[in-house]
A and B are shown apart, each in its own frame.
Chain A
Amino acid sequence: MARAPQTLFDKVWARHEVSPETAAAPAVLYIDLHLVHEVTSPQAFTVLRERGLRVRRPDRTLATMDHSVPTVTAQVFGGVPIALDSAARQVRELENNCAEFAVELLGLTHAERGIVHVIGPELGLTQPGSTIVCGDSHTSTHGALGALAFGIGTTEVGHVLATQCLLQRRPRTLAVDVDGRLAAGVTAKDLILSIIARLGVAGGTGHVIEYRGATVRALDMEERMTVCNMSIEAGARAGMIAPDETTYAYLAGRARAPRGAAWERSLAAWQKLPTDPGARFDREVSLDAGAVEPMITYGTNPGMVMPIGGHIPQRSDDPAFDRALDYMGLMPGEPLKDRPVQVVFLGSCTNARLSDLRSAAGVLRGRHIAPGLTMLVVPGSQQVKRQAEAEGLDRVFLDAGAEWRESGCSMCLGMNGDVVPRGHYSVSTSNRNFEGRQGSGARTLLASPLTAAASAVRGRVTDPRELL
């Protein structure tokens, strides 16, 4: 009997069922790769210790530190103590836990350390068809390579450490089809912000998204990561893109990707992953990439977003909307373009890969950031940092008056000493514009690296197409 056509998600899910779900119990789902970081793991290791359990598969577990680590070089390498005591304790605790439980750690001064969602793909650990979890909601990033990857809480971190499995109900599937060509100055960030605008911040709840269509196929690997990264901002725990030649070319030769005969075997398996013709999704949405413009957020969730030349919408009888604009110090009907900004942040698991730094440097080369503006450039990993330095991008940023830091989550979430001051406007390439996300009272405008760089030059919200 011919098997019913399956989606990419269906295939990955089926392959990882230790036992399928029943009415009474969820599936036991096997996890191929567990990424661990300092913030969401300490309490899980404590549970293991209390119960006398070990990490069952240290070979499928990799730890690094990114959220609470400093990005100031002297605090990372210079023997200067980490400024935040609590962060320093958390870093030490991860070091101790990894030593005690024999988990490999890419620690503070390791040459391969970085934001967990940057280093997984970079090292070749993130592979098509695999299941990947991490105690972080942006684990969806890894879906760009055709993995089923999603964020979990600390209790589940403990479950995976102890058993390499999770209890999971099968999510629904949502196809997002994108066709058409992105215009010059319009990036993958603008595309995903447009998709979130379309779906709404809860539109993907309960679903795994598969991004499909000619536009998605034409994206390079790092652009695909930017798209999948923000799936969670539409409420979806995971976003996936079917592997193809772009994926294989990206993975080939990476430090921890398969080699030789193992590569050939893996490749043969990966090539069977894409969604079969005629496979059904629970929902389908389509979008025209040609209509996407550079996007910027004006409110306090990523769904409150508009084209950069637009006007903030008017909405009556929506207290959440009024509250958000009040926090942002903005009025309905006004434009954002040309509004003065005080901070620009180029970084985060969304937009701190080499191609992001290159595109921002392209705008900043031979230019200077506006007087009084602070611009932080935080590479996504130490490898990205070295690659950027080898190309001279660090000089471009420094000559322009920006700060060039060590890798980490930095100003994306303000828990490591890098914060936006109260009341200041920040054009940020990160993923969340929630109240206080970049620091108490900080006002975040999410945008692409191009828009961030252009706005840094002018000191005002700027359409990057004016500077290209």
Chain B
Amino acid sequence: MGVTTPAPFTGLTSRTVVLPVANIDTDQIIPARFLTTTTRADLGSRLFADWRYDERGEPRPDFVLNRPHAEGCRILVAGRNFGCGSSREHAPWALLDYGFRAIVSTEIADIFRNNALKNGLLPVTVDAATNAWLIAHPGAQLSLDVATATLTLPTGVKVSFPLEPFARHCLLHGVEELGYLLARLKEIETYERRERHA
């Protein structure tokens, strides 16, 4: 059967796409009307749907993902507090399906961050000055290194970002959390007996 372990993710180098909007919520990343799907497939075409397409479904030429330079960019730089709102994992699925592997902001909402890490989408939070520089330099070539949790600017300046150690381990080694939890079923059973949950 189709059990796949995630591929190790050590980092990437890519140009950025800049979406200089604060508080980008999960309803913007993927509107709720697309959540009646029962699979993870093809969500990239719905990414930022209401910003990307007009009422007739035509691409809005002024939206950043519809400009030629967005092609092939794998890092999205956003305004402060990215991913607030709902718990829909469709949000990171849509970003990944589109081709993004990392999101950079000054703050990233808790549930979105969790969902992103479980799918190999790297949440990168940086200080306001770095984010402002990135917003002012769309298309900048950045390197992200998972092992050291550092972002390298085109100037050579290195900026570190927080990355929870276990999440970093899972990304680097392609470890899937479910397998880790399943390996601990004995402990879980012991807990259940102790707490009379069983």
B36 contacts the other chain (Cβ, under 8 Å)? yes
The reply to whether A30 and B197 contact each other, CB–CB distance below 8 Å, is yes
Min distance, Cβ B18 to any Cβ of chain A, angstroms: 13
The answer for the CA separation of A25 and B184 in the assembled complex, in Å, is: 13
The answer for the CA separation of A53 and B181 in the assembled complex, in Å, is: 13
The reply to whether A434 and B27 contact each other, CB–CB distance below 8 Å, is yes
Min distance, Cβ A116 to any Cβ of chain B, angstroms: 12
The reply to whether A301 and B178 contact each other, CB–CB distance below 8 Å, is no
Interface of chain A residues 220 through 236 with chain B (CB within 8 A): 232, 235
The reply to whether A440 and B191 contact each other, CB–CB distance below 8 Å, is no
Known A-B contacts A167-B166, A169-B164; A153 and B118 likewise in contact (beta carbons under 8 Å) = yes
The answer for the CA separation of A43 and B88 in the assembled complex, in Å, is: 12
The answer for the CA separation of A441 and B181 in the assembled complex, in Å, is: 43
A443 contacts the other chain (Cβ, under 8 Å)? no
The reply to whether B36 and A415 contact each other, CB–CB distance below 8 Å, is yes
Closest to A303 in B: B23
The answer for the CA separation of A324 and B191 in the assembled complex, in Å, is: 49
A413: contacting residue among B32, B50, B118, B187, CB under 8 A: B32
A259 contacts the other chain (Cβ, under 8 Å)? no
The answer for the CA separation of A23 and B191 in the assembled complex, in Å, is: 22
Min distance, Cβ B19 to any Cβ of chain A, angstroms: 12
The reply to whether B25 and A301 contact each other, CB–CB distance below 8 Å, is yes
A432 contacts the other chain (Cβ, under 8 Å)? yes
Q: Which residues of A contact B25 (CB under 8 A)?
A: 301, 432, 434
The reply to whether B110 and A205 contact each other, CB–CB distance below 8 Å, is yes
A393 contacts the other chain (Cβ, under 8 Å)? no
Closest to A304 in B: B23
A135 contacts the other chain (Cβ, under 8 Å)? yes
Interface of chain B residues 5 through 64 with chain A (CB within 8 A): 20-23, 25, 27-28, 31-33, 35-40, 50, 55
Closest to A48 in B: B178
Q: Which residues of A contact B197 (CB under 8 A)?
A: 30, 32
Tally of B interface residues using CB under 8 Å: 56
Q: Which residues of B contact A205 (CB under 8 A)?
A: 81, 107, 109-110
Q: Which residues of A contact B89 (CB under 8 A)?
A: 40, 43, 135, 153-155
The answer for the CA separation of A156 and B178 in the assembled complex, in Å, is: 9
Tally of A interface residues using CB under 8 Å: 70
B123 contacts the other chain (Cβ, under 8 Å)? no
B177 contacts the other chain (Cβ, under 8 Å)? yes
A267 contacts the other chain (Cβ, under 8 Å)? no
Interface of chain A residues 18 through 65 with chain B (CB within 8 A): 18-19, 23-26, 28, 30, 32, 39-40, 42-43, 46-47, 50-53
The reply to whether B181 and A202 contact each other, CB–CB distance below 8 Å, is no
B118: contacting residue among A46, A155, A206, A320, CB under 8 A: A155
Q: Which residues of B contact A201 (CB under 8 A)?
A: 23, 81, 84
Closest to A160 in B: B181
The answer for the CA separation of A68 and B22 in the assembled complex, in Å, is: 29
Known A-B contacts A18-B184, A319-B20; A156 and B81 likewise in contact (beta carbons under 8 Å) = no
The reply to whether B166 and A436 contact each other, CB–CB distance below 8 Å, is no
Min distance, Cβ B164 to any Cβ of chain A, angstroms: 6
The reply to whether B188 and A18 contact each other, CB–CB distance below 8 Å, is yes
A339 contacts the other chain (Cβ, under 8 Å)? no
The answer for the CA separation of A68 and B33 in the assembled complex, in Å, is: 9
A152 contacts the other chain (Cβ, under 8 Å)? yes
The reply to whether B3 and A86 contact each other, CB–CB distance below 8 Å, is no
A137 contacts the other chain (Cβ, under 8 Å)? yes
The answer for the CA separation of A43 and B38 in the assembled complex, in Å, is: 6
Closest to B119 in A: A155
Closest to B20 in A: A319
The reply to whether A167 and B180 contact each other, CB–CB distance below 8 Å, is yes
A89 contacts the other chain (Cβ, under 8 Å)? yes
The answer for the CA separation of A139 and B79 in the assembled complex, in Å, is: 27
Given contacts A19-B187, A39-B88, A320-B23, 11 further A-B contacts (CB under 8 A): A18-B191, A28-B187, A43-B89, A50-B3, A137-B87, A153-B118, A163-B188, A165-B188, A205-B109, A232-B85, A415-B36
Please report A residues at the B interface, Cβ cutoff 8 Å.
Answer: 15, 18-19, 23-26, 28, 30, 32, 39-40, 42-43, 46-47, 50-53, 67-68, 84, 86-87, 89-90, 93, 135-137, 139, 151-156, 158-159, 162-165, 167, 169, 171, 201-202, 205-206, 232, 235, 237, 300-301, 319-320, 323, 413-415, 422, 432, 434-437, 440-441
Give 28 pairs: A residue, B residue, CB < 8 Å, sorted on A. Answer: A18-B184, A19-B187, A24-B166, A25-B166, A26-B166, A28-B181, A28-B187, A30-B197, A43-B39, A43-B40, A46-B38, A50-B1, A52-B1, A84-B36, A93-B38, A137-B85, A151-B111, A152-B87, A155-B119, A155-B177, A155-B178, A159-B181, A202-B80, A301-B23, A319-B22, A414-B31, A436-B28, A437-B32
Q: A-B pairs with the 6 shortest C-beta distances?
A: A86-B36, A153-B115, A42-B38, A153-B89, A320-B22, A151-B87
